[in-house]
Chains A and B, each alone.
Chain A
């Protein structure tokens, strides 16, 4: 079993919909990261969080340490949000990341 599991693997939405992507992990962590990979391949870091909730524009990330679970929400989704969203955990022992397989999001106009 992977240490980091994401769901769903694929998600199709209509423009304007509220989107949730989930991430569960099975190891002790110091931080959890959400990354976005554009269709062109580039990877950017969206959030790094160790507790609670963070918001940036239409993106919200939450984490529940006790339940070992995080969610990434996108409000008022737009076709430009179409990308692969990747969850990664930073274990308590260092800076290395362990990655989930990613969620392919497609937002249709």
Chain B
């Protein structure tokens, strides 16, 4: 089992460009999450999906959209990237009352 996979691992964008971060899990988990991690701050929830077909905003959703394509996949889209979105992005999955499993992260730089 691969666990949680994310693509790409690294990305550099120019201000205003768009991109989609991909995440997939093979553990048959219902819940999936997108976080960002910035220096000096804890992980912050951007969006989450409690089950296939549902998505909800987290703490910092502005500038992002998500799609829960099916039970396995949960993508994060930046429509018009801004330098403030420079961060490391983590996808995670879990069962409702279980521990979370994290992907390896995507390091995004917006110039």
What is the interface of chain A, defined by CB distance below 8 A to chain B? 2, 4, 30-31, 33, 35, 41-45, 48, 86, 88, 90, 94-97, 99-102
Contacts and interface: CB of A to CB of B under 8 A. Distances in A.
- A interface: dominant SS: strand
> Which are the 5 A-B pairs with shortest beta-carbon distances?
A99-B42, A43-B102, A45-B99, A99-B43, A48-B99
B41 interface: yes
Interface in B78-102: 88, 90, 94, 96-102
B27 interface: no
A95 B31 contact: yes
Contacts of B99: 33, 45, 48
B61 interface: no
A95 B45 contact: no
Contacts of A96: 33, 45, 48, 58
Contacts of B100: 33, 45, 97
Given A30-B97, A95-B31, A86 B43 contact: yes
